[in-house]
A and B are shown apart, each in its own frame.
Chain A
């Protein structure tokens, strides 16, 4: 039964996605696709921000790398000759399938994460926040100035709309399952040990730096894939699409859902996608003096985050998974297995 569970999940989610793709109108399909992309972003960000305890703010940067890479690699050669005439010839000719383009984007984002993580992750977790935010600025500036490749501020539009619900939910499942497996492996316990007490973890034989770097790079890989999906959903990208706002919203999903819980991130992503979607209607409907209240949805998210930090800093799910909570509710009084004190002990097997 336990071995069958992943299969059931895959069949169930993909079946529903296929059903939705044939039955729902464009608007609902788009919202559903955004939910899948946001789940990918939140769950992958949680790997660093929730499990290994480094607070990364670089998701927009890695998304941008994935989005631009896949945009340039999948755009038909004929369109590229017009839109991006200054591309080097080998890039101008190339026309790759979506999956290959996504994978190349992941590789690039992973490489960048590795290069940034190398100096930064040896320091206190704090520095990663600023360095990754700096990375976001670097990526934006490069996208803005590297005219022959990115078309600068004009951005690249007219991308093939490749992101169907099947693609989005397929990759979302891959993300969630891979990260679920990582988190529940010895490597995941090593991450949590590092989060709880670096020194104790190191004493028990956890390679602290490597573990942190692994979490950071893995998060970047999935963020890049989500960026590619997003680019081919919206079909137009500009440097300003990948701003701090985007990172902030993903951080809000992780924090509100519960840093350190995979299912918490999923719940946070769903909530934080639907809430702004609803509020956006309020923004234009509740105009004061004929002026739409742009910014209202962001204000609500910010206030929500402040309240969560003060009254429930562990987020909705805390460090528990939905399954544990449900099992607890149904009366099966299993001891919750999330006591951090045990983690450092378990992590020694990693070495």
Chain B
């Protein structure tokens, strides 16, 4: 059962899941860091991205690579729009108001998709180049697996550079330290928040496209559970902390995949339960996460 090739396969699988969780978790953590908002509609950005990719792939007029690019920009714009319409009017309201709003946005997207596109799952046909398997370094894997990891890592490096080297990126980190002081420094906080939402939604769109490519299926509720799990990843790494979200994403991916790989089949059905039990354990043992700073009971 536990042959080397099986282990390697699981390892690749875990890297894939971890990459996707990390991308989603970064988006959650960036927004949480600034607004203290747990964005329950974040997973639904994945769904929108996946549907857009499907639409691009099934239209013959557009080249396949635009199936990644178009969703990213459209969903990033959607993220900014939602922030403008739904969250900005609530600036200064109790934190829970935004949380409720994000629940409503999530329901709106899921049911809007159900109403217009039906709840029927749709199959995703990847371009042939992505499905073929290759041998590299003595490991056999599908091109798609490699694409997922490479793209995720590239995006994470780009994001790390962005938040360290650009003014707006530095402003973003400053905001997550202290919004009010950042504002006093002459930073347009609304602009920073808009950028944060654009990045967050854009990364979620990438994650959604990759997810639908890996599992070959799209449906209106596909983003809900990965969105929640990404929160678990963000908490493991320390919420509000970008490197923490990356680390948490990969840890969660490995924990989940190897739970399924090593447990007998009658237990592996509990994989989603395992993830959230993990959340409860982390909250009990180390609520500030691996890389996070201690958050006081009430800000």
Contact = CB atoms under 8 A, between A and B. Distances in A.
Interface in A107-125: 116, 118-120, 122-125
Contact of A133 (B95, B111, B115, B228): B228
Contact of A303 (B38, B108, B283, B298): B108
A281 B67 CA distance: 38
B135 interface: no
A299 B115 contact: yes
B277 interface: yes
Nearest to B279: A134
Given A124-B298, A295-B115, A141 B269 contact: yes
Q: Dominant SS at the A interface? A: helix
Given A124-B298, A126-B95, A301 B107 contact: yes
B298 A198 contact: yes
Interface residues of B, number: 50
B284 A198 contact: no
A99 interface: no
B231 interface: yes
Interface stretch (A68-76, A267-275, A305-313): A305-313
Given A251-B100, A291-B118, A120 B112 contact: no
Interface string A167-204: 00000000000000000000000000000001100000
Contact of B280 (A119, A124, A303, A305): A119
Contact of A137 (B86, B108, B272, B287): B272
Nearest to A310: B89
Contacts of A199: 298
A295 B283 CA distance: 35
A53 B271 CA distance: 31
B97 A309 contact: yes
Contacts of B114: 294-295
A120 B297 CA distance: 11
B268 to A, nearest CB: 9
Interface string B192-232: 00000000000000000000000000000000110010011
Among A120, A134, A145, the most chain B Cβ lie within 10 Å of the Cβ of: A134
Contacts of A293: 115
A302 interface: yes
Please classify how large the interface on chain A is, using the bins under 10, 10 to 19, 20 to 34, 35 or more: 35 or more
Nearest to B268: A145
B48 to A, nearest CB: 15
A306 B105 contact: yes
Nearest to A254: B100
Among B231, B271, B277, the most chain A Cβ lie within 10 Å of the Cβ of: B231
A133 B172 CA distance: 29
A313 B108 CA distance: 18
Given A309-B90, A309-B101, A134 B112 contact: no
Among B40, B107, B273, B298, the most chain A Cβ lie within 10 Å of the Cβ of: B107
A134 B96 contact: no
A141 to B, nearest CB: 4
A295 B272 contact: no
B270 interface: yes
B104 interface: yes
Among A116, A303, A313, the most chain B Cβ lie within 10 Å of the Cβ of: A313
Interface string A113-152: 0001011101111110111011101100110110000000
Given A131-B283, A294-B119, A295-B111, 14 more contacts: A119-B280, A120-B280, A124-B297, A124-B298, A138-B273, A141-B272, A251-B103, A295-B112, A299-B108, A305-B101, A305-B103, A306-B108, A309-B100, A309-B104
